[in-house]
Structure 1
Amino acid sequence: MRESLFKKELLSVLRNKKLLIPIIAVLFIPVLYSGMFLWAFWDPYDHLADLPVAIVNQDKGADFEGKELQLGNELVDKLKESGDFNFKFVNKEEGYKDLKNQKYYMLIEIPSEFSSNATTLLDDHPEKLKLVYVPNESYNFLSSQIGETAIEKIKSSISEKITETYAETMFDKVTELADGMGQASDGASKINDGAAELKDGSSLIYDKLSLLADKSIEFNDGVGKINNGSKELVAGSKTLADGLGQLQEGQNTLKSASDQLKAGHEQMAAGIHQTKEGLGAVNEKLPAVVAGTEQIGAGAKTLSTSLQQWQSEAQKVNGGMAVLQEKLQGLIGQLPENSPERLELEGALNQLKTGTAELAGAAGQLANGGNEIAAKIGELNTGQKQLQQGVNELAKGSEKLESGAQEISKGQNEFQAGMNTFSEKFADAKAGADQLANGSTVLAGGLGQLQDGSAAFKDGTAQLKDGAGKIADGNATLYDGSEELASKLADGADKASSVNANDDTFSMMAGPVKVDNEKINKVPNYGTGFAPYFLSLGLFVGALLLSIVFPLREPAGVPKNGMSWFTSKFLILMGIGIIQALISVLIMFVGLKIEVQSVPLFIFFAIITSLTFITLIQFFVTTFGDPGRFIAIIILILQLTTSAGTFPLELIPNFLQPISAFLPMTYTVSGFKAVISSGDFSFMWHNVGILAIFIVLFIAGTITFFTGMHKKRFAAAAVSE
């Protein structure tokens, strides 16, 4: 009977101390894994104040915009106040020495230029502030990772402080900008006033030019009439005698102009004379300059010849040096190899050889330079001679000009004398009137040209009028623009001066973004976060160790069939698995005070997890024996890496990720996360369904094995009964 076989199995456990005690011990294995591990790592960040960290402050401070910066000291003060770690403030030598000796887990060094680098923001190449973070990773790797998180917080704090300082300076500059814009607004107002006057003046010019254009038309018409009259004048020149009185007035005017012309000729003659004297002086000096240049050229040629001789001699010296080197080399070869005397002689010989080669090269360069200087001085001398010839020709021309000026002056004197005679002998005006008739023809031609010029003048005044109109329009635009500029500058000054900065403003600019860490499904500490992983691990190890202390294959009596054999074993294992789960849950609630979304579902899921691992271990160990335990250990190892209990599944190697779908711990961890943290009970039931499939498959496999074994081992005993 099934019950009698189960009773036998149960009594065999209770009556056998060697079996009962190990089973009782195994009941607490999940507690050791889940309870001890979770207790040890429940909230490690709560003890960071006990972690020794060395701080080395080398900062020398700096001056920024008249303000003293001591960022290193400020950082030290903040670290003292924070209490994040057990900070030890030491000197550099002591800090690095104790870090290597594992007295500290990490060291933070503040360099000497820490504050001075903060003042370079506005430079062409600003320097970043540097903190030297030195963890001793061999001492403890996780402490270095924690330290990196802390150093990021320190970096953020320092950045905010520096930005706050620059923001304060920037707002001071904005205030200065407001004052400057106010002054610019006043200046723009003055420009606007000037533009208004310019606008009025250009309008007046346009009006006057319009009047001039109108008058030019009248003038052109008048010139046309005069031209027509001049033609009549040719015919009526004989009547000029009647107007000899009027001619007398013109003669007086002509005499006055003649006097002015004479004075101008005298001034021109004086200027020509001075020019002639100046050219003479230049002409006298040029021969000496040309002669000096020729002497310099001769000297340059002599220098070039001497340099060429020097080059030839240098080349001879260089050749002789080669002969000397050969002879000396033979003498040096007789000295012991690598002896000080030989090494010294060889070094001196090489220096002498190098010096003579350089001397020959320098001589060649100097000779070439001397030739070039001689050639250039020859070109200069040729140019000076050409200049001298030109000055001679100018001097001759000035003499002719002076002579011509004298002739003009003589003619002017004669003209003046003739005018005087004309005045004295006005009776001869009749003869002049005849000449006037001839001159009137010329006058008619000149008036024709005057009429053409008058037409061009009319067109020019029209264009000038148009241009003045455009200038007037442009000045109007300038006036409007200057008025708008003054207005906008005034507005800008008002807006800039309205910026009222305070400590809150500086703080906002230093840290404009505030992150609200709004967590969903909040996990309060490390222990709660790792509970699904360690609880699953503990129950699996408990099931595995149970297979060592409790015989999973050998029955306490003769089983009736494979099902009774399986049931007798499974009921014992199931009871132990449920007890393991309950003990673990009790420790989690009482000892660690874990908070879950649903206490009943948490207990239920822990039991389902324990039964899943019990059936898995029962199947492999019952079916394969000791190799089955090895297989179970392999499965445990794979589950440790692929269950996403620590790192996300996406962070493990790609070829391991698909394996997680076939291992039960993947679903136990997910289910525990749902019932402990997220409260997604539908997801928990989804994982329960998958675990139930594992349970059914493992039970079916075990029953199949027991059925086969029963046929082999107990078939004869069953027939006899």
Structure 2
Amino acid sequence: MKTGSLKAEVSSIFKNRMKLISIIAIIFIPILYSGIYLWAFWDPYGNLEKLPVAVVNEDSGAKMDGKKLELGKDLVDNLKESNDFDFTFIEKEKGYKNLENQKYYMLIEIPKDFSENATTLMEDNPKKLDLIYVSNPGYNFISGQIGNSAMEKIKESVSKEITKTYAESIFDNIGEMADGLKSASDGAKKLEEGTSKVQSGSKDVYNNLATLAEKSIAFNQGVSSANAGVKDLKDGAENLAEGLGKLQTGQSNLTDAASKLQAGDQSILNGISQTTEGINSVKNSIPALINGTSKLKEGSDTLSNGLTNWSEKSSELVDGAKQLNAGTKQLQETINSMLPLLEGVPEEKQKELAAALQSLVDGSASVAANTEGLSQAANQLASGGETLSTGLTNLNQGHEKLQSGVNQLADGSAKLQRGSQQQVAGQKQFIAGLNTYSDQFGNAVNGSTELVKGVESLQSGMDTLASGSSALSNGTNKLKEGSKELADGTNSLVDGSKELSSKLKDGADDAGSIHSDDKTYDMVASPVELSDKKITDVPNYGTGLAPYFISLGLFVGALMLSIVFSFDEPEVMPKSGFRWFLSKTAILMTVGILQALVVSFIMLVVLKVDVQSVPLFILFTIIISLVFFSIIQFLVTTLGNPGRFLVVILLIFQLTTSAGTFPLELIPDILQGVHALLPMSYSVAGLKAVISSGDFAFMWHNAWILAIYPAIFIIGTLIYFVAMFKRKYANGIQTAEQ
């Protein structure tokens, strides 16, 4: 009885109960891989509250700006309210012991100095907060990876709290800074008023010094004239001494001329009396002159001391101005370093604050430069004052020498007067007492010698007076020039102090306009809000891995069928190679379609996978199953058990290169090259499109690529069956027909 090959194949399946059960079981093989696995791990991240995690809090707390800071306690309180894990708060020793005993998957330790380190931000060497996370990958590797993600969230939460605390402190300091700037502005206003007074005083000093310079020039000219007269007086005294010498040598002739001299003696006596009166008048005037120069010297000393003190104070003012400039620069640097943290403050306000600070720095630099010029002018004034004092000292000494010379001149004049009187009184006895007259004449000669010495002393004093007068004139001119520089410097100082006061007021107003509250602190602590937008939505872990495990299940199901159903042995002798191929292929494709339908039912009805198109999902699943069956049929039919081994090798390569779990770029380059050759790469990509993205054009693109595989392998299988038929059965069929 002749029976068709396909009918015989189907009949053998239903007659053999074990074979039928095995094939039915194999139809559900893909569910064991895809359905059960995906069901078990459909949404593991949704059950993290069941994962035991130990928390150890060793934080001892700290103080910041007078407030108690307990970041460890705050973190524990937040974790207690969190449902991220099954947190257990435990002592350190017990926690680590239970972690090693695999009671916990991970442990979070908050160190003792956790809060203390948070207070070191503004110190030279700030310390980071060390939150210790200990996992046990040997117990479960995936839990460690989950823990890493959770720790990042905890780290972000702690960082937000710390930043919020710092932000609150910074805004408080800005308020204090505003008060400080206002006080500085008030102080600058007072400085402006003081510098205005200095400006007025410096103008008076300049005017008075100008007058002093003019008078000192006139005084110097008078001293020069007096000095010239003293020189003439010296020449006359020297001539007098020389004449007296000649008179003494001509004493012998005196007797002869005595009679003639008597008539002129009275005139000489009168002239000497007048000379004596003039010398006495000069003598009486010199103490007043000395007293005047002494007082002038005392005034000069007082002026010099005042100028010296002024110079010292101006040096202190220079140091203060430099310190003010350095302080403003430091303030600018400090606030500029804080500006990146002030993200809640509008950028315009930040720029205004930065500009105000720069103006403050420029103003303080101008004050420093001007006060330094003021100090230099004061030093010049002090130097001129010392020179003036020295010149007056020399002038006073010259006056004293002048007094001494005039005293000597007065003494000599008095002696000359007495001699002349004696000459007049004894003129009658002159001839008789010539020897006595000779002695008196000797006294006159001595007096003239003393007169010459006195005049020489007078000239020396006048030279000293002239030198001191010149120094006085030069000193007063320098004082005049220095006072002008002082006036110019005080003008700049007034302008700078006005600008300083204005800028400090502006800075105080800007800083005072910054207001903060809890919303501001939250903004600074967490300025960026992540908006999670997705091009496509994959709701859970199971949906994401469904393309990978559906492909895996269908491939394994096709491989398992080769164990319970012969891919090449016919149930009856085939009539042709094509019918032989058709009978086997029809069974395989039917089982493949049934597998695809079962998988689709479980995914859509039982696991309720939300696909973009149910018909296309079912169709693409059937295409995948038929592709895998065509490949496995060819390898097992043509090679037998070695073919099954090649199928297993092919499965391994597909599992690693299909990009069903990790991105393709993360696997070795050599495996990335294999990716494009294997069918599971396109089955996974197409299922992702039809399940998640809805890119049906991409799905069809992958479907057409998958169609290439059965076109090749089905033709190969057909060729094999035709060839085997000719080899095994062609002669037997011909013999039977004959």
Common fold: TM-score over 0.5: yes
Once the two structures are superposed, residues 342-373 of structure 1 have per-residue CA deviations (whole angstroms, 9 ceiling, x without a partner) of xxxxxxxxxxxxxxxxxxxxxxxxxxxxxxxx
Match of 1:639 in 2: 654
CA contact (8 A) 1:53 1:104 kept: yes
Q: Which of 628, 635, 640 is the equivalent residue of 1:620? A: 635
What is the CA–CA distance in structure 1 between the aligned matches of 2:141 and 2:205, rounded to whole Å? 89
Quote the offset at 1:476 in angstroms: 1.4
Q: Which of 511, 515, 526 is the equivalent residue of 1:511? A: 526
Match of 1:32 in 2: 32
Q: Could you say what the CA RMSD is over the residues aligned between the two structures, in angstroms?
A: 3.9
Match of 1:83 in 2: 83
Alignment of 1:92-241 (within 5 A): 92-215=92-215
Write the letter of the residue equivalent to 1:694. Y
CA contact (8 A) 1:195 1:478 kept: yes
Match of 2:282 in 1: 250
Quote the offset at 1:489 in angstroms: 1.6
Match of 1:682 in 2: 697
What is the CA–CA distance in structure 2 between the aligned matches of 1:137 and 1:255, rounded to whole Å? 112
Once the two structures are superposed, residues 582-605 of structure 1 have per-residue CA deviations (whole angstroms, 9 ceiling, x without a partner) of 211111111111112222322222
> Which deviates more from structure 2 when the two are superposed, residues 468-477 or residues 657-666?
468-477
> Which deviates more from structure 2 when the two are superposed, residues 82-91 or residues 226-235?
226-235
Quote the offset at 1:434 in angstroms: 9.6
What is the CA–CA distance in structure 2 between the aligned matches of 1:493 and 1:546, rounded to whole Å? 86
Quote the offset at 1:665 in angstroms: 1.0
Quote the offset at 1:712 in angstroms: 1.2
Matched, 1:524 2:556: no
Matched, 1:476 2:466: no
What is the CA–CA distance in structure 2 between the aligned matches of 1:571 and 1:154, rounded to whole Å? 59
> Which deviates more from structure 2 when the two are superposed, residues 638-647 or residues 112-121?
112-121
Alignment of 1:356-435 (within 5 A): 425=415, 427=417
What is the CA–CA distance in structure 1 between the aligned matches of 2:466 and 2:234, rounded to whole Å? 18
What is the CA–CA distance in structure 2 between the aligned matches of 1:208 and 1:256, rounded to whole Å? 25
Write the letter of the residue equivalent to 1:154. I
Write the letter of the residue equivalent to 2:417. A
CA contact (8 A) 2:49 2:83 kept: yes
Matched, 1:493 2:493: no
Q: 1:116 to 1:620 in 2, by over 3 A?
A: same
What is the CA–CA distance in structure 2 between the aligned matches of 1:474 and 1:714, rounded to whole Å? 125
What is the CA–CA distance in structure 1 between the aligned matches of 2:100 and 2:130, rounded to whole Å? 22
What is the CA–CA distance in structure 1 between the aligned matches of 2:91 and 2:82, rounded to whole Å? 21
CA contact (8 A) 1:608 1:688 kept: yes
What is the CA–CA distance in structure 1 between the aligned matches of 2:652 and 2:463, rounded to whole Å? 122
Write the letter of the residue equivalent to 1:525. N
Q: Which of 577, 587, 593 is the equivalent residue of 2:602? A: 587
Write the letter of the residue equivalent to 2:31. V
Match of 1:44 in 2: 44
What is the CA–CA distance in structure 1 between the aligned matches of 2:92 and 2:292, rounded to whole Å? 100
> Which deviates more from structure 2 when the two are superposed, residues 480-489 or residues 236-245?
236-245
Write the letter of the residue equivalent to 1:709. M
Match of 1:629 in 2: 644
Identity %: 53
Write the letter of the residue equivalent to 1:641. T
What is the CA–CA distance in structure 1 between the aligned matches of 2:210 and 2:719, rounded to whole Å? 123
Q: 1:429 to 1:147 in 2, by over 3 A?
A: farther
Quote the offset at 1:423 in angstroms: 8.6
Write the letter of the residue equivalent to 1:69. L
CA contact (8 A) 2:658 2:664 kept: yes
Q: 1:462 to 1:566 in 2, by over 3 A?
A: farther
What is the CA–CA distance in structure 1 between the aligned matches of 2:647 and 2:527, rounded to whole Å? 55
CA contact (8 A) 1:163 1:510 kept: yes
What is the CA–CA distance in structure 2 between the aligned matches of 1:569 and 1:205, rounded to whole Å? 125
Quote the offset at 1:641 in angstroms: 1.3
Quote the offset at 1:73 in angstroms: 2.6
Quote the offset at 1:670 in angstroms: 1.5
Write the letter of the residue equivalent to 1:598. S
CA contact (8 A) 2:406 2:454 kept: no
Quote the offset at 1:462 in angstroms: 4.8
Matched, 1:599 2:614: yes
Once the two structures are superposed, residues 656-689 of structure 1 have per-residue CA deviations (whole angstroms, 9 ceiling, x without a partner) of 2222222111111112122222223332222222
Write the letter of the residue equivalent to 1:249. S
Aligned residue for 2:54, secondary structure, equals strand
Write the letter of the residue equivalent to 1:427. Q
> Which deviates more from structure 2 when the two are superposed, residues 243-252 or residues 43-52?
243-252
Match of 1:386 in 2: none
- Structure 2: state its 5+ residue gaps: 241-267, 294-400, 421-443
What is the CA–CA distance in structure 2 between the aligned matches of 1:536 and 1:583, rounded to whole Å? 13
What is the CA–CA distance in structure 1 between the aligned matches of 2:524 and 2:184, rounded to whole Å? 29
Q: Which of 564, 570, 574 is the equivalent residue of 2:589? A: 574
> Which deviates more from structure 2 when the two are superposed, residues 502-511 or residues 57-66?
57-66
Q: 1:125 to 1:225 in 2, by over 3 A?
A: closer
Quote the offset at 1:433 in angstroms: 8.6
What is the CA–CA distance in structure 2 between the aligned matches of 1:78 and 1:559, rounded to whole Å? 76
Write the letter of the residue equivalent to 1:669. V
Match of 2:320 in 1: none
Quote the offset at 1:461 in angstroms: 5.0
Aligned residue for 2:676, secondary structure, equals helix
What is the CA–CA distance in structure 2 between the aligned matches of 1:563 and 1:230, rounded to whole Å? 157
Match of 1:564 in 2: 579
Write the letter of the residue equivalent to 1:493. A
Match of 1:73 in 2: 73
What is the CA–CA distance in structure 2 between the aligned matches of 1:188 and 1:429, rounded to whole Å? 80
What is the CA–CA distance in structure 1 between the aligned matches of 2:546 and 2:657, rounded to whole Å? 16
Match of 2:557 in 1: 542
Aligned residue for 1:519, secondary structure, equals coil
What is the CA–CA distance in structure 1 between the aligned matches of 2:476 and 2:173, rounded to whole Å? 55
Once the two structures are superposed, residues 383-421 of structure 1 have per-residue CA deviations (whole angstroms, 9 ceiling, x without a partner) of xxxxxxxxxxxxxxxxxxxxxxxxxxxx9xx99997895
Aligned residue for 2:609, secondary structure, equals coil
- Structure 1: state its 5+ residue gaps: 262-410
CA contact (8 A) 2:227 2:466 kept: yes
What is the CA–CA distance in structure 1 between the aligned matches of 2:67 and 2:464, rounded to whole Å? 83
Alignment of 1:253-292 (within 5 A): 253-254=285-286
Aligned residue for 2:522, secondary structure, equals helix
Alignment of 1:661-676 (within 5 A): 661-676=676-691
Quote the offset at 1:119 in angstroms: 3.4
Aligned residue for 2:281, secondary structure, equals helix
Matched, 1:701 2:716: yes
Once the two structures are superposed, residues 10-34 of structure 1 have per-residue CA deviations (whole angstroms, 9 ceiling, x without a partner) of 3333443333222111111111111
CA contact (8 A) 1:216 1:458 kept: yes
What is the CA–CA distance in structure 2 between the aligned matches of 1:113 and 1:253, rounded to whole Å? 91
Quote the offset at 1:128 in angstroms: 3.4
Quote the offset at 1:438 in angstroms: 9.0
Match of 1:348 in 2: none
Aligned residue for 1:129, secondary structure, equals coil
Once the two structures are superposed, residues 7-57 of structure 1 have per-residue CA deviations (whole angstroms, 9 ceiling, x without a partner) of 443333344333322211111111111111111111011111122222333
CA contact (8 A) 2:133 2:151 kept: yes
Aligned residue for 1:198, secondary structure, equals helix
Q: 1:449 to 1:420 in 2, by over 3 A?
A: closer
Once the two structures are superposed, residues 566-593 of structure 1 have per-residue CA deviations (whole angstroms, 9 ceiling, x without a partner) of 2332222222212211211111111111
